[in-house]
Structure 1
């Protein structure tokens, strides 16, 4: 593992594989992919925050209630 990257060898391999695939994407494919990834990141953040609040405050939270 390269200590400067903070990634495991497996993560480094996956990153390199993704970089190779991204190189061959059209501009439109890359833009669509970025939009989808950003949406997934937002969903993951919401899920993570709700999980932390539920755990720490012992609450029953539903994303539709926020």
Structure 2
């Protein structure tokens, strides 16, 4: 498999710690956490898009068309 699609040892450890943390949550806590995590992922995506548009000199109006 391509190295860019594999997790590093540190990422594997982080994933395990995260999984253990979530498993200790109540169902309600996990739902709220998941909703918050999804929002943060979308914000991160917007930040990456903005950085790429800025660095590549792309007009953001063209990207939304």
Q: TM-score range by the shorter chain?
A: 0.7 to 0.9
Q: In angstroms, what is the RMSD of aligned CA positions?
A: 2.0
Structure having greater relative contact order (Cα 8 Å, sep ≥ 6):
1
Gaps of 5+ in 1: 62-66
Relative to the length of structure 2, the TM-score reads 0.77
Relative to the length of structure 1, the TM-score reads 0.76
Paired with 2:23 and 2:58, the residues of 1 have a C-alpha distance of: 46
Gaps of 5+ in 2: 61-65
Aligned length: 57
Segments of 4+ moved more than 3 angstroms: none
